[in-house]
DNA sequence: AAGGACGTTCGACATGGTCGAACACAGGGT
DNA sequence: ACCCTGTGTTCGACCATGTCGAACGTCCTT
């Protein structure tokens, strides 16, 4: 049974030490707890600095963990959510007959991290990476209402008009968001693209934190009945998928 | 000028690759882009797995970034906030003449990551690490109102009574939280400890995310006037310090 | 059954990592 | 001003450790 690579183990121990320290550490404060000679510790730190995992303060010569390590984690968050949700998203497109969107908050927009084509073979464009307005889409509304910390507040948004139906009054939008909070899901009828509507439900991790949103999008007349209410079966399918995905993230609805 | 440690550089490159991949990767999918022979790549992965930075799926043998890397980042978040806020917290204790608390959400409580003594030389105990109830303290109220995603909802809390003034009705608490949202800061008069009150303001990162809370605590009669309203100058000092800390976190009020 | 792809182990070997000695610099004390 | 101490960094001898070709075992496809 082959062993492990000592220098890599030492580097990892160093990163853990820096991660759990309450402040930037000096070389001797790193070498001593790890029982390493100073030049050995210095060589490892120099390498970690070169690869961008550790920063060194120019004046004090003290070392801290670098932001690159944090970025490593959040990039993985995005892909982690995608990999955990895509099977359910695919399945939802099949059962609903509509296209399905998986989104995450990204500043003043919602960014699609996964997109499933409407399964009718019609010509479609892959929308992964697309950024949608928060106020005029169901996925965006869902985040505005249920992840208010992760996105700007309604009055901070540039409420641009996309169609004749787009809500651009803060007061009206705020009322809609209150309804979303009450129901637990969001809806939108032709506000972003004429004739196209959507519904959306939040994805939560443990502790209830909303980290993403699952949405169904399609022609208004297929998603909604005459009174502007989505078909109950469709809402049920959406909420069920969102619930399953959330459970897989350590959360629930 | 000495060089860097090759094996550590290779390990870092591997972590970056796994971090930016959209899915778990097989050994060959890791070795090829890095131009490493498979046994070399395997040795590095085996080590990264041993130190807890990489996970390997038992069935598929594919590799992914491990949660330990994410934890490294969030531990640093705690200490990062502390190091960025402590100067302002110290200064606020000096200008207000009261003890100052710096807290972060921690499940169903707010945990103090920094505590500044009341600067009058009276006997005091260091409270760093102490966990305070969300519903009965100003720092907790602030998180309940302004970081609702990071903490449980009011009706999910165990509304324990600490003094005769503690609010233990969900409805009343919810009204208080609405007032906090309206004002942008929280207050508490003798609800956690008899005769002791506090006020608190949120600390935000870029995007408005509330990640912590700054609070002032002291005798009720020193912080509040007869009508139960905090002295305006004290609120101003608190909000100014919170604003400065938030700016340093890439955020604003 | 044969072949190919891939994860993992083995072990020879050479090179890359280690680390004692030395240097440079800063700060404090006399 | 000089000396001492502490600490970050460099140098280079040396050998231990990391590398990697060959081989093995497993799984999948034809």
Antiparallel, parallel or unpaired: β A109-116 and A131-133 = antiparallel
Q: Which residue has the higher pLDDT, B209 or A38?
A: A38
Q: Which of A44, A83, A207 sits opposite B23 (nearest CB)?
A: A83
Q: What's the mean pLDDT in A52-73?
A: 80
Give the rounded percent of residues in chain B with a pLDDT score beyond 90: 43
pLDDT on residue A22: 62
Mutate to test the interface with A, among B60, B73, B104, B147 (most CBs of A within 10 A): B73
Per-residue pLDDT at A75: 58
Kindly give, in sequence order, each residue whose CB lies less than 8 Å from that of residue B34, ignoring residues fewer than 6 positions away.
B10, B13, B14, B17, B41
- Here the tokens at position A6 are 């000592």
Q: Which runs of consecutive H residues, i.e. helices, occur in chain B?
A: 6-20, 27-31, 38-50, 67-96, 138-146, 170-183, 220-223, 232-248
For B181, half-sphere exposure in the C-beta direction (CA atoms, 13 angstrom radius) is 14
Nucleotide nearest to B43 (CA to C1'): D18
β-pairing, B99-106 vs B63-65, is: unpaired
C-beta atoms of A207 and B152 within 8 A: yes
Distance A37 CA to C28 C1' (A): 26
Q: Which positions on strand C lie below 7 Å from a protein C-beta?
A: 5-11, 16-22
**For chain A, first and last CA: distance in Å?**
46
pLDDT tens track for B184-226: 899 999 999 999 999 999 998 654 567 789 999 999 999 999 8
Please give the backbone phi and psi of residue A92, each rounded to the nearest 5 degrees, phi first. Answer: -65, -40
Query: Could you tell me which residues are beta bridge partners of residue B218?
Result: B197
User: What pLDDT band is residue B24 in, cutting at 50, 70 and 90?
Assistant: confident
C-alpha to C-alpha distance for B5 and A14, rounded to whole angstroms:
14
Give kind and range of the element (H or E) at residue A73: helix A67-96
Judged against a pLDDT cut of 50, whether residue A7 lies above it is answered with: yes
Alpha-carbon span B84 to B212, nearest angstrom: 12
Q: Which domains does chain A have, with CATH numbers?
A: 6-65 (1.10.10.10), 73-248 (3.30.450.40)
Residues of A in contact with B4 (CB under 8 A): 43, 46-47, 50-51
pLDDT tens figures, A154-190 = 887 888 899 999 999 988 998 899 889 888 899 999 9
Which tens digit of pLDDT belongs to each residue from B52-84? 899 888 888 889 888 777 666 555 567 678 877
Q: How far apart are CA A33 and CA A9, in angstroms?
A: 15
Q: pLDDT averaged over chain A?
A: 85
Mean pLDDT for the stretch of residues A46-57:
89
Query: Residues in chain B, how many?
Result: 253
């Amino acid at each position: 049974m082959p062993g492990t690579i000592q220098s890599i183990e030492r580097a990892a121990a160093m990163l853990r030490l820096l991660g759990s320290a309450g402040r930037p550490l000096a070389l001797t404060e790193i070498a001593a707890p790890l029982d390493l000679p100073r030049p050995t510790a210095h060589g490892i730190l120099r390498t970690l600095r070169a690869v961008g995992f550790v920063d060194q303060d120019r004046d004090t010569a003290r070392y801290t963990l670098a932001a690159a390590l944090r970025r490593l984690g959040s990039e993985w968050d995005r892909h982690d959510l995608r990999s955990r949700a895509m099977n359910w998203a695919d399945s939802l497109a099949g059962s609903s007959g509509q296209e399905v969107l998986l989104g995450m908050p990204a500043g003043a927009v919602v960014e699609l991290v996964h997109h499933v084509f409407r399964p009718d073979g019609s010509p479609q464009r892959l929308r992964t990476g697309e950024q949608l307005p928060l106020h005029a889409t169901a996925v965006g509304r869902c985040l505005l209402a249920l992840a208010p910390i992760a996105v700007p507040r309604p009055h901070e948004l540039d409420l641009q008009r996309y169609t004749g139906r787009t809500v651009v009054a803060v007061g009206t939008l705020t009322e809609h968001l209150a309804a979303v909070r009450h129901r637990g899901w969001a809806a939108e009828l032709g506000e972003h693209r004429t004739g196209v509507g959507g519904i959306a439900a939040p994805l939560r991790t443990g502790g209830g934190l909303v980290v993403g949103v699952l949405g169904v999008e399609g022609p208004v007349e297929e998603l909604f009945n005459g009174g502007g209410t989505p078909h109950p079966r469709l809402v049920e399918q959406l909420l069920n998928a969102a619930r399953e995905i959330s459970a897989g993230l350590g959360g629930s609805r």
